[in-house]
């Protein structure tokens, strides 16, 4: 069962989270089917993005969708993971070229150095005129060196956007997508100003010690060890207080927000002329969801309903009482 574990280190300004996506992750992969499966390096990237998205959504507790996007000029044009406030997630990628075996981030999306990572926070209930917030970082470090790991990119993003030290360890295969997040908590109490938090960057001894321990976690350990074993091995000298894990209907799970109504709105956006052209050419307008693989079909009769304004549609029939 997919689960999210939250914990703190007693007496220290450090918190952590561990996510393991199992059934939810394999369900996402299965929806594409073998014939539409992404190459292995792309599946790994998407799994790491899904795990990271769940960790980030859980850390900020945002009432809206968190959308993590990686795009660039490599064979992977775009990779997206979306996580809702209830930790329901979905992910997909657009692949436009041949993906080398074992390719890492640079070879996937940053071949020419123009790749970037965008994190969008889209409020669930927007105020009039309110726009989603988006932060963007390049896929290279401070010395312009290409970053090879998604975790490095997101650590850089968190340092820039929140001025907080963050350590991320991510891994994914076809069975599990997992991630460990360690973060220095903001300074609390009287006189808690942003400058004090910024002055702590890279200098807090407790955080640095725990981040160093986290960095020793191997990919194999992250993918295979249960939460109890993993946390005990890493932090056996620390006093760790764990909270009740989030699992099942309250934890991370695969879910897609596509619907026939949303597809109909998309078709209206294309316009009646283009829709009629599809019907004339193929007899049907077929739209597939890239996230879950659901197929939606619209024929000429459906088109009449799609492009008829609600006020012009006949009233729904009612049963005689």
Q: What is this structure's pTM?
A: 0.83
Give the SS3 label for residue 252: coil
What sign for the dihedral angle of Cα 72, 114, 51, 225?
A: positive
What's the distance, CA 280 to chain centroid?
39
What is the predicted pLDDT for the residue at 4? Answer: 97
* pLDDT per position as a tens digit, 259-272: 788 878 888 887 88
What are the counts of helices (DSSP H) followed by strands (DSSP E) for the chain? 11, 14
**Burial of residue 214 (number of CB atoms within 10 Å: 0-12, 13-18, 19+):** middle
* pLDDT per position as a tens digit, 245-298: 999 888 999 988 777 888 788 888 878 888 888 788 877 777 777 777 777 778
What is the predicted pLDDT for the residue at 189? Answer: 44
Contact partners, residue 287, CB within 8 Å, separation at least 6: 263, 266, 267, 295, 296, 298
């Amino acid at each position: 069962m997919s689960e999210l574990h939250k914990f703190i280190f007693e007496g220290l300004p450090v918190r952590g989270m561990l996510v393991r996506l199992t059934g939810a992750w394999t369900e996402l992969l299965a929806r594409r089917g073998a014939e539409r499966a992404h190459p292995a390096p792309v599946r790994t990237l998407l799994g790491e993005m899904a795990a990271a998205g769940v960790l980030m959504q859980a850390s900020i507790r945002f009432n809206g969708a968190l959308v993590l996007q990686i795009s660039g000029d490599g064979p992977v044009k775009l990779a997206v993971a979306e996580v809702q406030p209830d930790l329901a997630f979905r992910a997909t990628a657009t692949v436009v070229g041949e993906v080398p075996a074992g390719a890492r981030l640079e070879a996937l999306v940053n071949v020419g150095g123009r790749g970037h990572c965008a994190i969008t926070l889209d409020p669930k209930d927007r105020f009039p005129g309110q726009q989603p917030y988006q932060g963007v970082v390049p896929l290279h470090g401070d010395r312009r060196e290409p970053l090879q790991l998604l975790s490095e990119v997101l650590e850089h993003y968190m340092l820039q956007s929140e001025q907080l030290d963050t350590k991320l360890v991510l891994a994914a295969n076809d069975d599990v997508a997992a991630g460990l997040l360690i973060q220095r908590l903001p300074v609390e109490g009287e006189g808690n100003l942003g400058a004090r938090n910024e002055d702590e960057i890279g200098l807090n001894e407790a955080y640095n010690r725990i981040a160093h321990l986290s960095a020793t976690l191997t990919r194999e350990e992250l993918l295979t060890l249960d939460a109890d074993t993993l946390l005990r091995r890493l932090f056996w000298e620390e006093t760790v207080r764990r909270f009740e894990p989030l699992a099942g209907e309250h934890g991370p799970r695969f879910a897609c927000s596509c619907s026939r109504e949303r597809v109909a709105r998309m078709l209206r956006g294309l316009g009646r002329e283009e829709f009629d052209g599809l019907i004339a050419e193929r007899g049907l307008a077929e739209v597939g969801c890239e996230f879950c693989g659901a197929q939606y079909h619209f024929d000429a009769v459906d088109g009449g309903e799609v492009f008829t304004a609600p006020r012009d549609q006949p009233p729904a029939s009612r049963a005689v009482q």
